[in-house]
Amino acid sequence: MHLINDSVTHKKPTNYVVANYKSRSGFKAGCYREKGGWTPYLQLKPNDLTTFIQMKKSDFDVFLKILDNVKTKL
């Protein structure tokens, strides 16, 4: 997740690109090119577009902080 945030979202995409992380349970998080910039997203269940959530870049940063916080408590 941090790799996507640090190395992908800081570059301006020229073609349609999707960068994502997929867990063993099917949870996906990543970003795709839209209107010349990146749009972060989450998809909670595989093959279920009702669980697809688009985010702002600032929301994605908050999501990463929450993940880091949870990771320290494991």
pLDDT digits (tens, 9 = 90+) for 9-50: 777 777 888 888 899 988 998 999 887 788 899 999 988 999
Q: What predicted TM-score, i.e. pTM, was given to this entire model? A: 0.77
- Confidence check: pLDDT of 69 > 90: yes
Q: Which domain holds residue 14?
A: 2-73
Q: How far apart are CA 74 and CA 42, in angstroms?
A: 22
Tally of domains within the chain: 1
Q: Which residues pair with 38 in a beta bridge?
A: 33
Alpha carbon distances (Å) from 27 to 36, 37, 63: 26, 23, 14
